[in-house]
Chain A
């Protein structure tokens, strides 16, 4: 966590919670949304879904790291998150094998 109160009442910030960086993230997210819509208009064949999901993954990474603050949390939070992503990945890949290669 970024915020600590010092005894004299001043606020010290290990990671100063700034407005600027979050506004930058927001602009990035909006730009990526525009890119997603633009790319969807181009016929990329089988890669359409892949590209759309790739951009969505980048957007999620920004939201999780900055808006949800995971980047500045303890290792434990990050390990849990990696664990959940791995579980989802395994479930999707194994189901994918069943569905696509049947």
Chain B
């Protein structure tokens, strides 16, 4: 256990708690940079996918984990970012370096606009409202066929920056490094929002809306900003998904994707950047893990591969149920407990993390 001696108030909002922590993160970054030299091209592609998912998860995490507003409709913003990016490139001929941030901006504005009516809703109503949004996205993409090419879908061109091409198959290492750079940038933005007054007001709203209001936080405006930033980051991830997948249509952004995003954030651990990455790892790597274990099982059993429809969703659901029941804090919560165990070695007690008992009380009168 390390006790930090704080000599100024600013130390409370330092980017890193202490020097050792900073060194660990630098080591992690170096490891991520060295990854292309270790992994095969296929594995590197999966890592790229994981990074894209983590950006999307960070976008949702800002809203769900930081501000406490559940959204079941974030695939809508993935779609906005994805379509905006490709359309800006194809119709207006903008280069990627302009269209990519613009796509994020458009998704962010869309999020802020939708937030105005949405943020008047609470809990369940917000979840249902955003769920309806996710369903509408699918239909709206089809309705806007002249722009989006509807069911036929759109092709995403290769990313071109100053004459350098980035393609998933042509030069996967370059694509991986580009997306790693974007991920690091998003992490820094996220972390700095957390440290700023805005981030504090997000947390205040999450913990109690009424106390936040009493402390002088403009609840409606702050929620709209949270929605906007969250949608913007998600939109960036959407643009990358478009380039990574190459082709996409209305089916790419269905309700299940929205739900998967929310589930990923919960499995990872709400309210932490680590959680976004852990959750993304589960969602991005689970299909591969299932496919590999199915092949292995098929070999052991003697028969060919067994195909069971819906298995992926069911395994995902079962993992999620287990997490919510036994470790509501997600993977990050478990990791935190293990770390605390070693830090305090003989003095760790189970009850350190016990939740307080609470009883249900509603605002309904009848």
The finding on whether chains A and B are genuine partners in a shared complex, rather than unrelated, reads no
Using a CB–CB cutoff of 8 Å, the interface residues on chain B facing chain A are none
Using a CB–CB cutoff of 8 Å, the interface residues on chain A facing chain B are none
